[in-house]
Amino acid sequence: MTNDRRPLILMSPALLWLFGLMVVPCLLILALAFFRRGLYGGIEYTWTLENIALVFDPLYFKIFMKSAGIAGLAAGIASVLGYAAAYAIASMPRRHQPMLLFFAVLPFWSNYLVRTYAWIVLLNREGLIVNLARWFGFEGEMPKLLYTESAVVIGLVYNYLPFVILSCYAPLSRLNPEIAEASRDLGASGWKTFRRITLPMTVPGIATGFVFVFVLSIGNFVTPALLGGGQFQMIGNLVYAQFLTANDWPFGAALSMVLILVMLGLLMLQAVVTERASGGKKQIDG
Amino acid sequence: MADRNTFRLMLLILGVIFAFLYIPISVLVGLSFNEGGLPTAWTGFSVKWYGALLQNSDILQAAGNTLFVAIFSTILSTILGSLLAVGVELRRRNGKWLETIIFAPMIIPDIVLAIALLSFFSLLGARMGLHTIVVSHVVFNLAFVCAVVRARLRNFDWSIVEASTDLGASTFTTLIRVILPVLMPAILAGALLAFTLSVDEFIIAFFTAGAGRSSITLPMQIYAMIRFGVTPEINALATVVMGVSVIALALSQRLNRGGLPGQ
């Protein structure tokens, strides 16, 4: 192909769009984090580090840590369940696998709010789970199910599980079955083969799934607001409040900036894990 | 013997996971047809809650707005995303920065893009409404369209483009008469995907809609409704919204086998 300008002409409308409506606004957020909040909720254009410092104020840092804890728990549970599901799908006959995978991922493409709402239907005071328990003869006070931390974790796991199934299935389906066979022929038990061969070779899939669930969870404000109840706050809700109710945009921008840095760090870590694993695979192949 | 037990264990795992994935939404769909509307007792099959949706002017207005946003953002993002895909694949040797910029809208957290766009629009002093939602939705939609079309272009035989040029066709003619027909299934699949994503998108719409009821979209309406708890009407609405996504996705999948991002 000659070194012509045609590709650039084709690409330019979309690239301009992304530049003007993604790159510039995101840079704006970075800049905003270093401005002072005006007296009446406006922005004063003098440089300051106060907003960044405020993020690490114990009051807000506690929320940060709690969000990270909830996101980590959700990502951990989703990784275990997702890996198990992907492993099970990969062990089914080849011709059934695409269909199983399609149905595992299908819920992921339906509306996020609707999927979260489904759990309100199940968990609320008059919900299905309470009714089922009564029907089975459970008497007395039912523990509160909805508007709890557990409900938030369940909601996050439910919403993002299909993503982990996808990311774990990819390396599992590419796995050469002869390696596991060789391991068993050499006398290793099924469990040992799994632990020493299959698992290490498919770790990148788990890492990708874990990081994405964590990243999507820690900045989430919809699930905490709907399943955690009005008082429940995660970082996403805090950012939301700064922009839509408290009107402290510079602080909101600072919060998001720290959030973005955490996410970027994790994504880089995940890239490293993937790289290492593919390096290791080459060694086995060679 | 051990293998049979393993197989049974795998079936059990699949059963449990699929139950976890599908029971909640099935309960929702089931309840939307419950005459009495309460989760406590089944009082008979009825579509009256769907009828109630058609009587609710708030919901109808929100549905109209959603359709407006989805149609315009789909048209724009399909054009931009397809051109981008052809350009990127034609160029072949792309720097890392280019790939990052194209990939970024798919992984950037919604809330970050949402507040960034809100700050941007208000700094410009732009009046916010349905048009700002359209413009914002194009940002992530064009990335998804581009990904679907690029997947198709990987198996594209570029020699037919060279043949077309050799035979004297202009670049524009080649694009319209040679490349476009081959890409059509992928472009349509990308458009359907963009349409679903736009119909379902809540956070960015919520932040860039501006004040007032006039630019509320369906997900915004749903969010407002479910904060107050469970009603049979929401069950019906949720079922409709879910049905639309599933149909659009199935169509997209059919048009473009295996071309969805991540599959």
Q: What's the Cα-to-Cα distance from B163 to each of A77, A178, A188, A219, B61, rounded to whole Å?
A: 54, 45, 58, 51, 51
Using the predicted structure, report yes or no on whether residue B262 has a pLDDT greater than 70.
no
Residues 47-76 of chain B with CB under 8 A from chain A are: none
Confidence of residue B2 (pLDDT cuts 50, 70, 90): low
Please enumerate in sequence order all residues whose Cβ is within 8 A of that of B255, keeping only pairs 6 or more positions apart, or say none: B185, B186, B188, B189, B192
B76 inside domain: yes
Cβ atoms of B84 and A15 closer than 8 Å: yes
pLDDT at residue A279, rounded to an integer: 63
What residues in A contact B49, CB-CB < 8 Å? none
How far does chain A reach from its first CA to its final CA, in angstroms?
A: 35
Residues 172-191 of chain A with CB under 8 A from chain B are: 190
Residue B93 is part of which domain span?
Answer: 56-255
Which residue type, as a one-letter code, is found at position B238?
A: A
Distance CA A47, CA A36 (A): 7
The model's pLDDT over B102-128, given as tens digits with 9 standing for 90+, comes to 988 988 888 899 999 999 999 899 999
What phi and psi, each to the nearest 5 degrees, are found at residue A186?
Answer: -80, 5
A115: closest CA of chain B, how far (Å): 7
Cβ atoms of B252 and B229 closer than 8 Å: no
CA-wise closest residue to A250 among A21, A27, A30: A30
Superfamily of domain A51-285: MetI-like (1.10.3720.10)
B8 inside domain: no
- Say whether residue A68 is in contact with chain B using an 8 A CB cutoff: no
Using the predicted structure, report yes or no on whether residue B259 has a pLDDT greater than 80.
no
DSSP state for residue A92 in the 8-state scheme: S
pLDDT, averaged across chain B: 89
pLDDT at residue B1, rounded to an integer: 46
Number of compact structural domains in chain B: 1
Which residue type, as a one-letter code, is found at position A124?
A: N
Distance CA A212, CA A18 (A): 22
B2 inside domain: no
Place of tokens 């007792």: B41
Task: Write the CATH number for B175.
Answer: 1.10.3720.10
Confidence of residue B137 (pLDDT cuts 50, 70, 90): very high
> Could you give the residue ranges of the DSSP H alpha helices within A186-248?
190-193, 199-218, 222-227, 235-244
What residues in B contact A24, CB-CB < 8 Å? 120
B36 inside domain: no
Mean pLDDT of all residues in B164-183: 88
Q: How far is CA A256 from the centre of its chain?
A: 16
What phi and psi, each to the nearest 5 degrees, are found at residue A44?
Answer: -100, 130
B190 inside domain: yes
- If you measure CA to CA, which chain B residue comes closest to A211? B107
Low-confidence ranges of chain A (pLDDT < 70): 1-3, 39-41, 278-286
- If you measure CA to CA, which chain B residue comes closest to A106? B246
B179 inside domain: yes
Mean pLDDT of all residues in B54-75: 95
Using the predicted structure, report yes or no on whether residue B65 has a pLDDT greater than 80.
yes
B16 inside domain: no
Q: Which of A11, A67, A255 to mutate to test the interface with B (most CBs of B within 10 A)?
A: A11
Domain ranges of chain A: 51-285
Confidence of residue B162 (pLDDT cuts 50, 70, 90): confident
B12 inside domain: no
